[in-house]
Amino acid sequence: MSGEAIGLLMLATLIVTIFVGFPISFTLLVLAVAFGYWGMGRVVFDLMVFQTLGLMKEETLAAVPLFIFMGYILEQSGLMERLFRAFQFILAPVRGSLYVGVILTATIFAMATGIVGAAVTVLGIMAGPIMMKSRYDVRLSAGAIAAGGTLGILIPPSVMLIVMGPVIGVSVVQLYAAAFGPGLLLAGMYIVYTLARSYLDPRLGPALPAEARATSAGQIVREFLVGMLPLGALIFATLGSILAGLATPTEAAAMGATGSLVLTAIYREFTVARFRGAVVKTLTTSSMVLFLAVTSNVFGAVFARLGTATLMTNTLLGLQLPPTAMMVLLMALIFLLGWPFEWPAIVLVFVPIFLPLVQALKFDLILFGTLVAVNLQTAFLSPPVAMSAYYLKSVAPSWELRDIYAGMMQFMVLQVIALLLVVLFPDIALWLPARLFR
Amino acid sequence: MAHVPPSLLRIIRAVDAFSDRTGRLVAWCIVPLFAGLTYEVVSRYGFDAPTEWAFDVTYMLYGTHFMLGAAYTLLRGAHIRTDMFYEKFSFRTKGWVDALGYLVFFFPAMVFLFVAGWDAFLVSWRMVERSEISPWRPVIYPFKGVIPLTALLLLVQGVSEFLKSLHMALTGTPYEEKETVLV
């Protein structure tokens, strides 16, 4: 049997076995070694060690545990609560103010953390009760919390983009610069949508009652200075130093982790138990992502060496579709994959398979990476396997799962519109990197 | 109801305790990782004195951290699955799927990784290989040793997980609750 055919068989076996539900990492590794040995003999063992070591030496990826650590530290610091209260006080007289407060809090927090983590949970715990008490619409509330809470995976310092950089061979800094536009576009669309709905039907999001407002203008100023400014400064320093080229993402992540520890100490929220908790949670989260990166790297290398990638690319190119149609097709495929799979599997296993095609069509790789990222953010909101719905349900038990889904669907429609906007107007993504790195 | 011999439960508890302890130890790699890099940046911009070790120390700590942490991650049940169908299985079915998965996928994969990694480590150790990517040139064989050690730790924890899946398959109840991580 030819190498290409063995590779195709390997891919088919993967797709069948992956659905059985055994942890993907181990399935990938054993298939890569077994089919690799069949196709190329003992060399596969050297290839496995070489690829593993290569990933272990990828200094850029050291930013993954560091940004995850920074996020866990900040999650426990009570900063999100302060941020939310500040927005609540400032926006109180506006209809739909709590929606906007949730989304703005989530957006700012997303700029300080690299993963979704507990964002949905924390937002649900702190905003859920007051939204219910203020008679906010359940669906719109749940949708705003779930959609806002998952922005962390798209807006820099997104861990998904750090992992995507080496996979598609683009600098993480460029991907970061490109993700700002779409990320802020999404946040803006959420805000406009909730404001418009509340304006048209005030029952959905009434202005807040007196007891939920600030007692004086001084209190508003104080919440702003204490709750917003320090975190804002930390975000500005961390992301700013990356975009300005003063520090690599890895260095900035380390500085950000140190900075968030300092902030936590200043707010008197630092305890040894919390610190140890963040240390241990960082290990499981980053090891899950990065060990999968290792095994899918081995799988991808075997797949490429067997020549199957080239075969598939040539076949697809033979279809003679116009490049834009091909891109839309690819995005539709990734959207569908986002239903059963979580982003690490898609970015690490499937994107490398499509990559030669994207390169052959001479697509802008930065744009491609950004589109994949926006696309995968929708996966967090697509029922029936949207984890964020379960998280929200567990902290807001009085909300029906049906209503949570109905709310999430509304925001998913907004995301699909945003994705189409970025396809039609690539400058939304490419403007900032073009300005920064001419 | 089928029943699991106490001796097997003792093995599960002993292995889990071992992986729990090694995992919590490895987790602390994150502290020198962020502290070392912070020192490097401050030293570079504050005192115009970049360190010569920061680059190598960074990737070595990062690589050791997530690789050696893989066994602890397995203990916590955090390696991602595709749970579209798995979630709907009964506990017995889940148990059989896992037991079979460990035998057919997990153990062979980890034995391959251990043997190949061990060979590479021996070669590197005998020639006292040094890193060629930086002027500091630290010895690289301990770092290469991380690969077979990772496989070994995973194999050990895999024994416990295999027994747990048999437990679930035979009794119809899970041995423990696993956590899910939302990335």
Query: For chain B, how long is the longest CA-to-CA vector?
Result: 71
Give me A42's structure tokens.
């003992």
Give the amino acid at B100.
L
| CB nearest to A65's CB, from B62, B74, B115 | B62
pLDDT tens-digit readout, B112-137: 999 999 999 999 989 988 887 788 88
Query: Does the ipTM exceed 0.90?
Result: yes
For residue A319, what pLDDT is reported? 82
In angstroms, what CA-CA distances link B83 with A19, A163, A215, B80?
Answer: 7, 23, 49, 9
Region A241-260 average pLDDT: 93
For residue A327, what pLDDT is reported? 85
Strand partners, B139: B130
For residue A385, what pLDDT is reported? 62
Has residue B152 got a pLDDT over 90?
A: yes
Residues of B in contact with A59 (CB under 8 A): 55, 58-59, 62
Q: Which residue in chain B has the smallest CA separation from A150?
A: B183
* A239-278 residues touching B, CB cutoff 8 A: 246-247, 250-251, 253-255, 257-258
Residues of A in contact with B86 (CB under 8 A): 20-21
Length of chain B: 183
Q: Which residue in chain B has the smallest CA separation from A30?
A: B109
Other beta carbons within 10 Å of A199: 13
- Give the relative orientation of helices B107-126 and B141-171 as an angle to the nearest 10 degrees: 170
Residue B180's pLDDT band, with cuts at 50, 70 and 90, is low
Q: Between chains, do A48 and B86 touch, taking CB under 8 Å as contact? A: no
For residue A382, what pLDDT is reported? 76
Q: Is the pTM of this model over 0.80?
A: yes
Residue A322's pLDDT band, with cuts at 50, 70 and 90, is confident
% of chain B beyond a pLDDT of 70: 96
For residue A214, what pLDDT is reported? 79
Q: Between chains, do B108 and A341 touch, taking CB under 8 Å as contact? A: no
% of chain A beyond a pLDDT of 70: 99
Residue B146's pLDDT band, with cuts at 50, 70 and 90, is very high
CB B101 within 8 A of CB B88: no
pLDDT tens-digit readout, A38-75: 988 999 999 999 999 999 998 999 999 999 999 999 98
Q: Is there a cis peptide before residue A157, judged by omega within 30 degrees of 0?
A: yes
Other beta carbons within 10 Å of B176: 11
Residues of A in contact with B78 (CB under 8 A): 284-285, 287-288
pLDDT tens-digit readout, A383-434: 666 778 888 888 888 898 889 999 999 999 999 999 999 989 999 999 999 9
| CB nearest to A26's CB, from B59, B106, B183 | B106
Find the Cα–Cα–Cα–Cα dihedral A56, A59, A65, A71, rounded to 10°: -160
Least confident of A180-184, B19-23, B78-82: B78-82
Give me A89's structure tokens.
């006080």
Helix H, strand E, coil C: the string for B42-91 is HHHHHCCCCCCCHHHHHHHHHHHHHHHCHHHHHHHCCCCCCHHHHCCCCH
Has residue B19 got a pLDDT over 70?
A: yes
Chain B within 8 Å of A141 (Cβ-Cβ)? no
Has residue B37 got a pLDDT over 60?
A: yes
Other beta carbons within 10 Å of A38: 15
